[in-house]
């Protein structure tokens, strides 16, 4: 006990022994909303075990700030077990690798041993199935003590045969909680109960987003019409009318969605009986929007597809008290707005480790999905060349997910001159909650996980309570964008050796990020990773081998000017010769491609404007400049 007390010496949020009642203590401004609880035997045993584990792992005591933050996490979970925690969501935003998960493991083990907490049960919510299996192993649980409740058909459910309601520890996914609690309170969602009672301790690992954006576009709406026409003609007629109304309403406007059940005379259950997969999801969102004032947005410039958007709560307030373990809590604007708007979020004390051993190199270049579609070979060659400079080291590459999940990895592998077996690839969406790459010291973010402007606007509306028919301040939208970018970069880089360290410093790591300057990464990276070194990653002048449409266009242009060096080659004729009818696609995939431009330079061919218009619409040989005649002599300077 004296050892545990010693760890609190000089802490910013003192912990006193007592009966477990809530005690508000003076705190420095950063922790002014922190609530401390009387430290119980359960909490004492947990913190002693945790500190012992972290000390052995890191070769010394964790820094004081980390110890204080972990003690507060333990005290909050113990207060939930004792039934004394207020109905708030408690956010611990300690950095990855500091000890949040280790603390949770030790708490569960001590809880199961505690004679004073024999009837206390725990609900643990995770974003990835892999996390659950790993945690069960680390907790060394008896199969009688736990159960796993995830989607049907998941093998992980078979790790224990204990009924959900009889297991002290219930593992589930965050999506399962959102799905089962939709439209109801947590206390009424019996599948999460233990012996007929609500589980006292609730822990949510990684990001908690209590609100979500609902979206349905006119193409998705239209896809429902034919499958429902025979069985539910009134519903098909309503869909026809809705689709027309949305197209007329236009972009950046508002629309009152009809009550679908009243207007069609059809319940969701009845309409959904013969629909599956995506169609069932589209139908659910059609009903979800009933009676709402929705925000309308076009999918892009010149697009005929209109999307209806609104937001809703997906986490019931009575899930509180709950502890949220999310390192991104210190960088995401969603938490700040949640705390301000709903006032039921409490930030626990935190501590940021030093990232002085992290070097981040940023290339100012477009790297979104469109850039990878149009200039993928150029981007892949930059990545491949960089990896080749360290032929004996492992690399982690985080990239966009495409319809062909192996497209970007294969592009990079195909351009490498060294062993490709030492590269691990991870797509955005799988960049959280895994420790599988924690020993890799080189990581590349081959593009950032960026959303559309309307997505950031809807996040701002959702978390600030701004209605769809009200204007959202641009500054708030910018905060959301910056916060989400910071969140994804923090989580992605912390899959690598950045998450390792001695508790105060991260392990050495070199990170490389491709992102346009408008994202502001050079400015905010030192805030996300205090103490890190940020440098520019300069692009190289690459000679790219044309492929696909570009290769066909290059061959055609080369052949034309070989036979007609003094002629003008209209772009409309080039498209016709290639069999390409869509000028916009041709411009994106050929004219704007770097390898196409490079070949034009080699051929000494340039784009020119012909006819009455000012736009360049043709190709011609560059005018020859005067110079020395081949074989003749001349005097320099005359």
157-198 pLDDT tens trace: 999 999 999 999 999 999 999 999 988 999 999 999 999 999
pLDDT in tens, 426-449: 999 888 767 889 999 999 999 999
**Residues 407, 437 contacting (CB under 8 angstroms):** no
Per-residue confidence band for 624, with pLDDT thresholds at 50, 70 and 90: low
Helix axes 594-603, 369-388, angle to 10 degrees: 70
Q: Which of 52-56, 83-87, 526-530 has the lowest mean pLDDT?
A: 52-56
Per-residue confidence band for 602, with pLDDT thresholds at 50, 70 and 90: confident
**Residues 497, 509 contacting (CB under 8 angstroms):** yes
Could you tell me the end-to-end alpha-carbon distance of the chain, in angstroms, rounded to an integer? 95
- On the question of pLDDT at 32 being above 90, the answer is no
- On the question of pLDDT at 4 being above 90, the answer is no
Query: How far apart, in Å, are the Cα atoms of 588 and each of 371, 389, 549, 570?
Result: 10, 32, 11, 17
In the prediction, which pLDDT does 576 show? 94
In the prediction, which pLDDT does 17 show? 31
Q: Which of 26-40, 194-208, 287-301 has the lowest mean pLDDT?
A: 26-40
- On the question of pLDDT at 204 being above 60, the answer is yes
In the prediction, which pLDDT does 543 show? 63
Please give the CATH topology (third level) of the domain spanning 2-211+316-347: Rossmann fold (3.40.50)
- The H or E element containing residue 77 is helix 64-82
Better-scored residue on pLDDT, 222 or 54: 222
Do the domains 2-211+316-347 and 358-536 sit in the same CATH topology, yes or no?
Answer: yes
Residues 6+ apart with CB under 8 A from 253: 296
**CA dist., res. 230 & res. 163, Å (int):** 43
Q: Which of 1-15, 187-201, 386-400, 452-466 has the lowest mean pLDDT?
A: 1-15
Burial of 548 (0-12, 13-18, 19+ CB in 10 A): exposed
> What is the number of other CB atoms lying within 10 angstroms of the CB of residue 481?
21
In the prediction, which pLDDT does 329 show? 96
- On the question of pLDDT at 22 being above 50, the answer is no
Domain edges within the chain? 2-211+316-347, 212-313, 358-536, 548-621
pLDDT in tens, 470-529: 999 999 999 999 999 999 999 999 999 999 887 688 999 999 999 999 999 999 999 999
pLDDT in tens, 557-573: 999 999 998 899 999 99
Q: Mean pLDDT over all residues of the chain?
A: 88
- On the question of pLDDT at 36 being above 80, the answer is no
In the prediction, which pLDDT does 416 show? 92
> What is the number of other CB atoms lying within 10 angstroms of the CB of residue 365?
17
Q: Which of 33-37, 236-240, 391-395, 503-507 has the lowest mean pLDDT?
A: 33-37
Per-residue confidence band for 406, with pLDDT thresholds at 50, 70 and 90: very high
pTM of the model: 0.79
CATH of 358-536, picked from 3.20.20.70, 3.40.50.300, 3.20.20.140, 3.30.465.10, is: 3.40.50.300
């Amino acid at each position: 006990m004296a050892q545990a007390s010693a760890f609190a010496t000089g802490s910013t949020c003192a912990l006193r022994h007592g009966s477990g009642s809530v005690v508000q203590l003076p705190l420095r401004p950063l922790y002014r909303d922190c609530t401390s609880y009387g430290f119980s035997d359960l909490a004492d045993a947990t913190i002693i075990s945790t500190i012992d584990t972290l000390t052995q792992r890191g070769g010394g005591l964790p820094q004081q700030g980390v110890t204080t933050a972990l003690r507060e996490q333990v005290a909050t979970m113990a207060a939930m077990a004792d039934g004394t925690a207020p109905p708030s969501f408690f956010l611990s935003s300690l950095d990855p690798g500091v000890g949040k998960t280790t603390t949770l493991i030790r708490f569960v083990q001590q809880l199961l041993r505690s004679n004073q907490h024999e009837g206390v049960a725990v609900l643990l919510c995770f974003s990835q199935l892999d996390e659950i299996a790993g945690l069960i192993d680390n907790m060394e649980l008896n199969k009688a003590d736990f159960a796993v409740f995830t989607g049907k058909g998941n093998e992980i459910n078979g790790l224990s045969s204990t009924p959900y309601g009889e297991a002290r520890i219930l593992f589930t996914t965050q999506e399962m909680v959102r799905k089962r609690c939709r439209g109801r309170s947590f206390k009424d969602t019996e599948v999460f109960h233990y012996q007929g009672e609500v589980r006292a301790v609730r822990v949510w690992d990684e990001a908690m987003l209590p609100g979500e954006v609902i979206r349905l576009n006119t193409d998705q709406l239209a896809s429902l019409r034919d499958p429902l026409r025979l069985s539910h003609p009134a519903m098909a007629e309503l869909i026809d009318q809705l689709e027309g109304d949305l197209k007329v309403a236009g972009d950046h406007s508002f629309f009152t969605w009809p009550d679908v059940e009243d207007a069609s005379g059809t319940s969701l259950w009845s309409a959904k009986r013969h629909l599956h997969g995506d169609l069932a999801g589209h139908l659910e969102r059609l009903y979800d929007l009933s009676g709402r004032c929705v925000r309308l947005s076009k999918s892009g410039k010149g697009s005929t597809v209109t999307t209806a958007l609104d937001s809703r709560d997906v986490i019931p307030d009575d899930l509180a008290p709950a502890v949220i373990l999310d390192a991104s809590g210190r960088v995401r604007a969603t938490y700040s707005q949640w705390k301000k708007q709903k006032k039921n979020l409490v930030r626990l004390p935190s501590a940021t480790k030093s990232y002085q051993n992290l070097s981040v190199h940023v290339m100012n270049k477009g790297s979104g999905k469109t850039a990878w579609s149009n200039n993928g070979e150029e981007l892949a060659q930059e990545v491949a060349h960089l990896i080749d400079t360290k032929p004996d080291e492992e690399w982690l590459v985080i990239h966009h997910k495409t319809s062909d999940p192996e497209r970007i990895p294969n592009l990079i592998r195909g351009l490498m001159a060294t062993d490709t077996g030492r590269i691990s690839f991870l797509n955005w969406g799988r960049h959280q909650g895994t420790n599988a790459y924690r020993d890799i010291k080189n990581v590349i973010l081959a593009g950032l996980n960026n959303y559309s402007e309307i997505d950031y606007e809807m996040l701002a509306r959702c978390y600030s309570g701004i209605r769809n028919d009200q204007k959202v301040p641009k500054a708030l939208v910018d905060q959301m964008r910056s916060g989400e970018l910071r969140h994804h970069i923090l989580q992605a880089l912390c899959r690598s050796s950045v998450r390792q360290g001695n508790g105060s410093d991260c392990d050495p790591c070199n990170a490389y990020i491709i992102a346009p300057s408008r994202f502001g990464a050079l400015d905010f990276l030192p805030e996300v990773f205090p103490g890190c070194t940020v440098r520019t990653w300069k692009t190289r002048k690459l000679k790219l081998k044309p492929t696909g449409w570009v290769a066909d266009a290059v061959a055609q242009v080369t052949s034309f000017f070989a036979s007609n060096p003094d002629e003008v080659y209209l772009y409309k004729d080039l498209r016709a010769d290639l069999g390409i009818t869509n000028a916009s696609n041709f411009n994106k995939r050929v004219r704007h491609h770097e390898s196409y431009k490079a070949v034009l330079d080699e051929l000494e061919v340039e784009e020119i404007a012909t006819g009455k218009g000012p736009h360049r619409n043709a190709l011609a040989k560059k005018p020859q400049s005067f110079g020395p005649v081949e074989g003749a002599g001349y005097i320099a300077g005359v």
